[in-house]
Structure 1
Amino acid sequence: MNQAIGEDELVAAEYGPYSFSDYLQWDLEERMEIIKGRYFKMNAAPKRLHQKISLHIATELYQFLKGKPCEVYGAPFDVRLPVKSLKNEEIFTVVQPDICVICDPKKLDDAGCLGAPELIIEILSPGNNKKELQYKYEVYEESGVKEYWIIHPNEQTLLVYTLKADKYVPSRLYTGGDIVKSACIEGFALDLESLFKEME
């Protein structure tokens, strides 16, 4: 499938399977993700609140990581999660997390990140909950993402999944007043009281 593809053809073959090689050929106006060979349209531009939360967290991470080997990136930023091969035509998951932290510089190239980030943070929006809570959960766990944070803006909650023995272990549900510490980004902590106050 290495030819340019339009939206009509893509809709007609939703389940692919599509690879990163196909992804590079697409001539579409909307942003897309591929999860296990299946394409997913990204939602329209995120709501203002989503962007505010994302910027707040990314800024805190950026300031904390100055002078350290880890780097923070925000969407749109392609993260390729290979299973058996690093070849473009054999990579069937390409996602754009809201925020990710990569500590191994060898995983970074001009196309984005090749391999699992240490930390991924996703902010739920209407219409993307199933993708974040089911599909992405599975590929992040299988790919070895050490921590997966899910923020629910409307409920003002944060849930942390930590990888232990190749399986995610959920935290309790954090909310306003909690300070959430990262297990994989040593020393980083997020004050949810401060974060959620910005939503008022």
Structure 2
Amino acid sequence: MIVAPKLKMTAAEYLEFERASEVKHEFHDGEIFLMAGASRNHDVVTVNLQSELRQFFKGKPCRPHSDDIKISVGQNGKYLYPDISVICNEAAFIEPDVANDATVIIEVLSESTEAYNRGKKFQFYQSLPSLKEYVLVAQDEMKAEVFRKGNGGKWEYELIAEAVSLLKLPSIGFEIALSEIYDGVKFS
């Protein structure tokens, strides 16, 4: 049985609590936040992307990771769960289940997380030194948005919304048609 945490906790206390928990929580400056469960469409989109990325990276140094890997942002201040992270530097793993950097982060949007993923969470991720692309993928329509770090650290925006269009991630040399991302998704 998991005891409810105290209102504020240290990063070390959070990691101990989280590793014993059956549900996921993010950690921001001493407070924990329960993560929402995923829908079937969310799961299908995530698995499609992870499968394609895993196949693409066979024999290469980069690896896609699921939402079981936490990303540490700042000095023991935040631990976040991206849906998919692509990590190209093994040294980014500061613990077996925690990395402090990623080259690409992908979030599959849901009604309950969209504003957070577009706002605060993206702001948190921008402090990662190697992050080159932040991708938001809709689950209720065929649409992906890419925020790409350009010269001088300025973020540029690209919208992909046609089934035949390619989601291109030049930082890792990967591209995929939207139709492949949404294979098996049932739109209402």
Alignment of 1:3-82 (within 5 A): 6-7=3-4, 9-10=5-6, 13=7, 16=8, 18-26=9-17, 28-44=21-37, 46-81=38-73
Residue 121 (structure 1) shift? 0.5
In the alignment, does 2:166 pair up with 1:179?
yes
What amino acid sits opposite 1:51 in the alignment? D
Check conservation: 1:19, 1:34, Cα contact below 8 A: no
Q: Measure, in 2, the Cα distance between the counterparts of 1:197 and 1:147.
A: 23
CA-based RMSD: 2.0
For this pair of structures, how many residues does the alignment match? 181
TM-score relative to the length of structure 2: 0.86
TM-score relative to the length of structure 1: 0.81
Instruction: Show the counterpart of 1:147.
Output: 133
Alignment of 1:76-95 (within 5 A): 76-81=68-73, 83=74, 90-95=75-80
Aligned residue for 1:79, secondary structure, equals strand
Q: Measure, in 1, the Cα distance between the counterparts of 2:128 and 2:60.
A: 24
Aligned residue for 1:160, secondary structure, equals strand
Residue 192 (structure 1) shift? 0.3
Q: Measure, in 1, the Cα distance between the counterparts of 2:10 and 2:170.
A: 32
Unpaired runs of 5+ residues, structure 2, are none
Structure 1 residues 19 and 92, CA gap change in structure 2 (3 angstroms):
farther
Instruction: Show the counterpart of 1:192.
Output: 178
Residue 146 (structure 1) shift? 1.2
What amino acid sits opposite 2:181 in the alignment? L
Residue 95 (structure 1) shift? 0.9
Residue 115 (structure 1) shift? 1.9
Q: Measure, in 1, the Cα distance between the counterparts of 2:32 and 2:107.
A: 18
Q: Identity of aligned pairs, percent?
A: 23
Unpaired runs of 5+ residues, structure 1, are 84-89
What amino acid sits opposite 2:11 in the alignment? F
What amino acid sits opposite 2:16 in the alignment? Q
Q: Measure, in 2, the Cα distance between the counterparts of 1:21 and 1:141.
A: 23
